[in-house]
Structure 1
Amino acid sequence: MQDIDIFSKDCPTRFNLSVISGKWGLLIILALADRSLRFSELVRTIGGISERMASQTLKYLERCGVVRRRVVQHAKPPQVYYELTPLGRQFVAPLSQLVEIANRNVDALIYHHD
């Protein structure tokens, strides 16, 4: 495995990290942490996300190998579920810790003045 320099403009990891750690990617990963969800359930769970943004972010996360799209064909109409892959599950703990740190320090983050 090659050494990755995240600060290099040619770093292949940058885009994936921006999707995973971005507002919607983070929320989608955390929403899927405990169970798989249908698209409509996911949109309802994440306040403020549009269907278009949810769809786009899910496609990126699927392409990165973080989210799996599963179609249940025997349902009429077929149902589509989204779930984390084993790789995606690895992001749950660090992202949860990030949210926890932000929540613990919400006052300092909001009211910080230089």
Structure 2
Amino acid sequence: MFLADCPARTTLDLVAGTWSVVVVFALREGPMRHAELLERIGGISKKVLTQTLRRLEGSGLVRRRAIRSAPPGAEYALTSLGESLVEPVTVLARWAEQHAEQVATARDGAP
């Protein structure tokens, strides 16, 4: 597992990126438009959000649905495969929240 030619490694590379995890976590609440995701997430550029959504869509985790409105838009939602990632992402988010101070201290070089 996780050797150079291992499919699990490719999948882990997809979900290990900060923005992929954040987008999946944001979409757990239901479908959202691009602008809603930008507002919800914060700190991500339009370009990076678009790239992340395309990568997640291309991997079968996110579904894009065109919306006929003025102006035209799209709505993004998790697929069933994407929904299966919510629980592990939630566990990871809890771990990050619980250990953020320890990680920050270690980064600052404090014992």
Q: TM-score w.r.t. structure 2 length?
A: 0.88
Identity %: 35
Partner of residue 54, structure 2: 59
How far is the alpha carbon of 1:37 from its aligned partner? 0.7
- In 1, the alpha carbon distance for the partners of 2:43 and 2:9 equals 25
Write the distance in 2 (CA, Å) between the matches of 1:21 and 1:90.
15
Bigger shift: residues 97-106 or 61-70: 97-106
Is residue 48 of structure 1 aligned with residue 43 of structure 2? yes
Structure 2 residues without counterparts, runs of 5 or longer: none
Aligned length: 108
Indicate whether 1:89 and 2:83 are aligned: yes
| 1: CA distance, partners of 2:88 / 2:73 | 30
Which residue of the partner structure matches residue 5 of structure 2? 10
TM-score (norm 1): 0.85
**CA-atom RMSD in angstroms:** 1.5
Shift of 1:21: 2.3
Cα distance in structure 2, aligned partners of 1:53 and 1:16: 19
AA matched with 2:59 = C
Greater percentage in helix: 2
Q: Which residue of 2 aligns with 1:99?
A: 93
What SS does the aligned partner of 1:90 have? helix
Take 2:67 and 2:23, find their aligned partners in 1: how far apart are those partners?
A: 21
The CA deviation at 1:111 is 1.1
